[in-house]
Amino acid sequence: MNDAAPNAHSAAPARRLGDNAPLRLAEGGLIDRSRTLAFTFDGQRYLGHPGDTLASALIANGVRLVGRSFKYHRPRGILSAGPEEPNALVELRSGARREPNSRATTIELYDGLVAASQNRWPSLKYDLLSINGLAGPIIGAGFYYKTFMWPAAWWEKVYEPLIRRAAGLGRAAGVPDPDTYDKANLHCDVLVVGAGPAGLMAALTAGRAGARVVLCEDDFRLGGRLLLDRREIDGRSALNWVAATEAELAAMPEVRILRRTSVVATYDHGTYAAVERVNDHVAEPPSHEPRQRLWRIVATRCVVAAGATERPLVFPGNDRPGVMLAGAVRAYVNRFAAIPGRRAVVFATNDDAARTVDDLAHCGVDVVAVVDARPQASAVMADATQRASARHISGGAVTRVHGRLGVEAVDIRAANGATARVACDLVCVSGGWSPNVHLASHLGGRPEWDATLAAFVARNLPERMDLAGAAAGDLALADAFTQGHRAGSAAAEACGFSAASAPIPLLDPESTATSPLWRVTGTRGKAFVDFQNDVTTGDLELAHREGFRSVEHMKRYTTLGMATDQGKTSNVNGLALMAELTQTSIPATGTTTFRPPYLPVAIGTLAGHHRGKEFRPTRLAPTHTWAKEQGAIFVETGLWLRAQWYPTPGEKDWLESVDREVRAVRSAVGICDVSTLGKIDVQGPGAAAFLDFLYTNTMSTLAIGRARYGLMLREDGFVMDDGTVSRLGPEHYVVTTTTANAAGVMAHMEHAQQWLRPGLDVTLASVSEQWAQLSVAGPRSRDVLRAVVDPAHDISDAAFPYLAVAEVSAMGGIPARLFRISYSGERAYEIAVPAGYGDALVRALMDAGRAHGIVPYGTETLGVLRIEKGHVAGNEISGQTTARDLGLGRMLSRKKDFIGRALAERPALVAAGRPALVGLKPVDRSLRLRAGAHLVAQGAEPTAANDQGYVTSVAHSPTLGHWIGLALLSGGATRHGERVRVWDPVRSGDTLAEVCDPVFYDPAGERLHG
Amino acid sequence: MADAMQPLPLSALAGSITPGRKGRRSGGPGVLVEEVRPSGIATIIARQGQTEALAAKVRLDLGCDLPLKPRRVDSAGVALIWAGPGRWLALAAADHVDAPFAADLETRLSGLASVMDQGHALSLLRLSGPRVRDALAKGFPIDLHPRAFGPDDAAITLVSHITAHIWQTRADPVYEVAVARSLAASFWHWLEASAAEYGLQIEGG
């Protein structure tokens, strides 16, 4: 640190600005005066320049009042010049693109920008709800908890709408966002967060070493505070150094610079999230370009050079428009050539604020007083004050702010207690700087208190992360360069590169001396700690009085540090006041938890491409195009789209279509795409033994060219899935799974192979995608297939009986697999061809079947057919049913071991009286049964105690002419012939049903054989 | 017993991949894409303890080394791509004549490996162009930078919730991506959306 004059630029102050002088300086700043941008705020038209933010353009136009506060509707202006802004929140853009709570300080100005203030009615200047300010004592901390307690029914109807109207901030657009958002991945050796002096130096060092570097800068310009302060590097303006560094970085092929990109989160293993505002600086994104992009950055090393945030001071009226952070004031005058006020008072606790005194004087602002809260006079501050010809008050304080819609004067209390009123329109405040420790704390490391800095610094860093510059507490520029270079070298070297040492630039002298002031005491009036949530010192005192001592409780009770700014300007002041109230130290009080994201992130950005139907992928069956042509109605089953039914002209509803499809299958022939079932190829010398272990029944005895129904249990003895097992060769099987369980069964089989039976030489491969498989069911099915399967293959009943399997060819030489298996109970086949031929196959079958009355059928008919036959499906194989419950107890082999065998014999799983599968017919055959209805004994009260089971599946059976159902009923088969009450409280159903065998149709199974 | 009346297979991308320009129109295309149709695709899984014997057989028959890490080898019109421990994807070039490919492999590798015909199970896309890595980065979570992933490197990863097998065939770079047939249309939606800002040229047809 250096006690010499802090600013080498402080030559003779410019001529004082007159009262009517423009608030935009005639020269200087990083704006392009050759171009003018028009924008509107609250309907009023203004002009700005490229390089402006909305906040700087408003300041240059003399707009001080930009919003109303959250709770008290107090007039608010612009506090900061960065993403920490708690006050200047606006609705940006209009219509479907309207974005609430946008920070005016980070909105890059563009031509045609439209913004509106928030949280005011009827207008910003005359806000009727500002009466809340008078009710302050009533609506302090915990107001909602205490007031809106009862009656509970009032919550939704009265309290919530009331609170939302009164306290809500901006309004969402309310219609779908017309823009697109992107997500992308980025990998690098070194991620540098922040392109201020430390970040630029780190990136330069790592880049020169040859590392792949990603440099993310929140702003649209690189430079950080070098853009905001008038500094000299190597005897020239710091801007020259920034430009040269930027040019060198841009020329490095392995360095990627992301401007307008905020790194918002640190995750495990060197993963970071960043939001790039690709097209927020234009009215509408160019076609095909996203508005924003969410980057997932994976970095071997990370250097966080995210800077520091200046703290406001806590005194009555500190929220009035015109009270601004001292560093932000420098940003406006130096970078944007915009003058926030003509008569300024500077109230600070540190030497850094002396720069504000110099810079204001430099551009002609009348600095009327410099109030240094420190009792010992600072030479740096005194010199600056003298250069600005201002009054210097050491050990003083601002105790009151006059002016409602903006600062008009302040009361200054000198060290001796004398108070004087000073007219001014700008109060520059600085309570010191808090390093931005957020990214270093997202993984749970708590920052530690550094008394010298009067700030929290991150000490327990996540692995692979380093800090540099102000983010590390190194507030002096010289330290930022040194530490940036050190961190860049270390990061590159950790990635296997060797970094050369570089000379640290020669700098102008500087001082960062500071001493904290947590609040101005001995005053009256609302002194705000958290501007965005309207939390005052009084609220903290109230919370303390009411027993909220933990910092986390204090946060939740007062809402300090919540909302969109997450307390960036308020948390440290709040903690310090909390420590004072509880008479503990600041380190003992600790911080609240830092959680991602650092800045608010739009939901659309997190969704990226995955919105609407792209929320998840869709799987299309091989006959999808054909089914669409037929006008099929589709249903989502997992990721699959399956044909649910095929309406034909004149049909009134789905039931009519499904009845027709069912009748066609029972009387002629129907086809259905069953490709969605899982198909797993099992090969190897151990295949037979493996399947014996996997299924409850024996598969090793299955003859080649034959298929068998198979049942598998979970380890816990409940049924997992069912399907068919076909043997294609001595060591070659193909098994099917249900559509829903395909992936789960594959995982189960891989687990069994790798962990339970590693000794078996067996290979597993999903071949689900390879085959288009169509079910051809009905008495005429063989006739249809005869025309499609090549003539060389004999498919007569003698050669190809029920449960036969063969590898054949079809459609003139296309390899095919033919299975004689039936789910419908009719003579039925499944024919599989390579998936690309599925479309041709369905068309060939339809052509061949036309003369036989063929119909395509969907999943609804599939369901009716299986319910008529009493076959169980997902509704019954619910994970809570045993093989015995489902009437499949005979499939549990007693001759071999299989997965789930032991636990299936647990007493509760074999207990008599367990609900077991039965059929149900409504006693009044005209009535409908509903799945999900509960069963109670006839005449019994429908209570939980009397519950005997429930209806699992229902169908209207056109074959029987009435509704039928499958149910799990206590006692199961022993109750055939009884009547039960079917009670459906959800749809007000209460009918009687007759319990019967679940096989409603062809119980002897004669139709299977033709 | 091929027949003159035999139908032609239908690509899963038939409705999606029509030659022409998509997305940004100005300037040259940033991404070029075409569907690749190998004459055969098979999954090879080594039988227990047979990996070395399998590698020897592959060396003898194809003249290349079976990749034992995520790599691709290419010899005599057949590419073998690592697909997991003891597992490979075999692709026969479009002009490969030893059809049917999978059956032929099964015979050659009998006793050493299981061979499953996957000729219709996968949709393959070949991707290139000056912005191809930028477009792929929107879905592929892996590092495709030349320092991390080069010609003949392969990986299996998840893109837009879809399992994708990717390998690089040329340094300039050219990538090939295989996805399950049923998910090909969804993968295509992702690709088209992701490449739109760079301009997507769909070739072939």
Whichever domain contains B177, its CATH number is 3.30.1360.120
Q: Does residue B143 sit within a domain?
A: yes
Residue with tokens 């980065």: B137
Contacts of A636 in chain B (CB under 8 A): none
Same domain assignment for residues B68 and B165: no
Q: Chain A closest CA to B176's CA: distance in Å?
A: 19
| Residue to substitute from B10, B110, B192, interface A, most A β-carbons within 10 A | B10
pLDDT given for residue A127 in this prediction: 72
Prior bond of A597 cis (ω within 30°): yes
User: In Å, how far is A73's CA from the nearest CA of chain B?
Assistant: 43
* Pairwise CB contact (< 8 Å): B47 & A619: no
Amino acid at A270: G
State the CB neighbour count (10 A cutoff) for residue B13. 18
Does residue B143 sit in the same domain as residue B111? Answer: no
**Which of B78, B97, B117 is the last residue in one of the domains?**
B117
Nearest CA of chain A to the CA of B6: how many Å? 5
What value, to the nearest 5°, has the Cα angle with vertex A86 and ends A158 and A512?
155
Residue of A nearest to B190 (CA): A609
Length of chain A: 1010
pLDDT, position A543? 92
CB contact under 8 A, B186 and A288: no
Which chain B residues are Cβ-neighbours of A640 within 8 angstroms? 182
CB burial of residue A186 (10 Å; 0-12, 13-18, 19+): buried
Of B7, B23, B143, the CB nearest to A811: B7
Chain B CA closest to residue A769: B121
State both tokens at B127.
């991707």
The tokens describing B36, both together, are: 């690749």
Letter string b/e over residues A757-794, b meaning 16 or more CB atoms within 10 A of that residue's CB: eeebbbbbbbbbbbbbbbbbbbbbbbbbbebbbeeebe
Angstrom distance (rounded) from CA A901 to CA A825: 29
Of the candidates A512, A349, A375, A335, the one whose C-alpha atom is nearest the C-alpha of residue A429 is A349
Q: Are residues B147 and B102 part of one domain?
A: no
List beta partners, residue B32: B128, B201
3-state DSSP percent of chain B in helix, strand and coil, to 5: 20, 35, 45
Instruction: Count Cβ–Cβ pairs < 8 Å, chain A vs chain B.
Output: 151
Indicate if B28 and B81 belong to the same structural domain: no
CA-derived radius of gyration, chain A: 38
Domain interval for residue B73: 40-117
Which residue does chain A place closest to B194, by CA atoms? A182
Q: Do A625 and B5 touch (CB under 8 A)?
A: no
Whether residue B114 and residue A683 make contact (CB cut-off 8 A), yes or no, is yes
Using CA atoms, how far apart are residues A306 and A225, in angstroms rounded to an integer? Answer: 11
- Residue A721 identity (one-letter amino acid): D
CB nearest A812 (choices: B5, B14, B147): B5
Do residues B97 and B156 share a domain? no
CA distance A682 to chain B (A): 9
φ/ψ region of A464 (left if φ > 0, alpha if ψ in -120 to 50, else beta) reads left
With CA atoms as reference, the chain B residue closest to A683 would be B114
Whether B77 and B135 map to the same domain: the answer is no
Residues A442, A444, A446, A447, Cα dihedral to 10°: -20
Q: What are the Cα distances from residue A780, in Å, to A646, A797, A819?
A: 20, 13, 16
Establish if B5 belongs to a structural domain.
Answer: no
Do B54 and B113 lie in one domain? The reply is yes
Whether the Cβ atoms of residue B24 and residue A287 lie closer than 8 Å to each other: yes
> Which residue, B58, B91, B117, sits at the end of a domain?
B117
Last residue in a domain, options B89, B117, B145: B117
The count of other CB atoms within 10 Å of the CB of residue A44 is: 9
Give the gap in angstroms from C-alpha A742 to the nearest C-alpha of chain B: 14
Question: What are the CA-CA distances from residue A799 to residues A225, A788, A793, A827, A830 (Å)?
Answer: 87, 17, 9, 15, 16
Q: How many Å separate Cα A855 from the centre of its chain?
A: 46
Please check whether residue B98 lies inside any domain of the structure: yes
For testing contact with chain A, the best of B120, B140, B159 (most A CBs within 10 A): B120
User: Helical H runs in A734-893?
Assistant: 742-751, 781-786, 838-849, 859-868
Q: What is the pLDDT of residue A155?
A: 64
φ, ψ dihedrals at A842, nearest 5°: -65, -35
Q: What is the distance between the alpha carbons of residues A384 and A393, in angstroms, rounded to a whole number?
A: 13
Write down the pLDDT at residue A184.
98
Domain membership flag for residue B175: yes
How far is A855 from chain B, CA to nearest CA, in Å? 22
Q: A754 to chain B: nearest residue by CA?
A: B48
Residue B9 in domain: no
CA neighbours within 13 Å on the CB side: how many for B101? 25
- In A678-798, the DSSP E strands lie at 678-683, 707-713, 719-729, 732-737, 763-766, 771-777
> Which residue in A has a C-alpha nearest to residue B197's C-alpha?
A288
Across the interface, do A836 and B11 touch by the CB < 8 Å criterion? yes
Q: Which of residues 32-61 of B touch A (CB under 8 A)?
A: 43, 45, 47-49
CB-CB: which of A290, A763, A813 is closest to B45?
A: A763
Per-10-residue mean pLDDT, chain A, length 1010 = 39 66 93 98 97 98 92 92 96 94 96 90 71 62 62 65 62 90 97 98 98 98 96 94 98 98 97 98 95 98 98 97 98 98 97 97 96 94 96 96 95 96 98 97 94 92 96 96 97 97 87 94 94 92 90 88 89 93 91 92 94 93 97 96 97 97 98 97 98 98 98 97 97 96 96 97 98 98 98 97 97 96 97 98 98 98 98 96 96 96 96 95 96 95 96 98 98 96 93 97 92
Taking the CA atoms of chain B, what radius of gyration do you get in angstroms? 18
Contacts of B45 in chain A (CB under 8 A): 683, 763-765
B44 contacts in chain A (CB < 8 Å) = none
Closest CA to A761 of A693, A687, A680, A694: A687
Residue B196 belongs to some domain of the structure? yes
Q: Which chain A residues are closer than 8 Å to B134 by Cβ?
A: 184
Q: Is residue B3 part of a domain?
A: no
ipTM above 0.90, yes or no: yes
Residue A6: its pLDDT value, please? Answer: 38
**Are residue B141 and residue B154 in the same domain, yes or no?**
yes
Asked if the Cβ–Cβ distance from A837 to B183 is below 8 Å, we say no
Mean pLDDT by 10 residues, chain B (205 residues): 72 91 96 95 97 96 94 94 97 77 94 97 98 98 98 97 97 98 97 96 83
Least Cα separation, residue A213 to chain B (angstroms): 12
Q: Do B141 and A296 touch (CB under 8 A)?
A: yes
- Return the sign of the alpha-carbon dihedral for residues A468, A471, A473, A478: positive
**Does B169 share its domain with B106?**
no
pLDDT reported for residue A133: 62
**How many whole angstroms separate alpha carbon B169 and alpha carbon A563?**
51
Contact list, B5 vs chain A (CB under 8 Å): 811-812
Kindly report the nearest CA distance between residue B88 and chain A, in angstroms.
11
Report the domain count for chain B.
2
**CA distance linking residue A754 with residue A894, whole number of Å:** 25
* Contacts with A, B 85-124, CB within 8 Å: 100, 113-114, 116-122
CB contacts, 8 Å: A770 with chain B: 116-121
Which single residue is written with the structure tokens 């008394």? A451
**Is B23 a member of any domain?**
yes
pLDDT of residue A139: 64
* Shortest CA distance from B16: residue in chain A: A625
Residues from chain A that touch B137, judged by Cβ atoms under 8 A, are 184-186
Q: CA A252, CA A728: separation in Å to the nearest integer? A: 61
| Domain co-membership, B53 together with B33 | no
CA distance A70 to A531: 9
Which residues between 68 and 87 in chain B have a beta carbon less than 8 angstroms from any beta carbon of chain A?
none
How far A837 CA lies from chain B's nearest CA (Å)? 5
| Whole-number pLDDT of residue A352 | 96
The angle that helices A354-362 and A379-387 make with each other, rounded to 10 degrees, is: 10
Helices (H), A797-899: 838-849, 859-868
* Interchain pair B182, A619: CB under 8 A: yes
Chain A hits for B118, Cβ within 8 Å: 767, 769-770
Strands (DSSP E) found in A397-489: 397-402, 409-413, 419-423, 426-430, 433-435, 448-450, 455-457, 465-467
Give contacts of A609 with chain B, Cβ < 8 Å: 138, 160, 190, 193-194
Find the CATH number of the domain harbouring B76: 3.30.70.1520
For residue A647, the one-letter residue type is: P
Smallest CA–CA separation between B136 and chain A, in Å? 8
- Domain match, B44 and B111 both: yes
Mutate which of A185, A213, A839 to test chain B, going by most B C-beta atoms within 10 A?
A185
Q: Are residues B126 and B32 in the same domain?
A: yes
Beta partners for residue B193, in sequence order: none
**For chain A, counts of helices (H) and of strands (E):** 24, 50
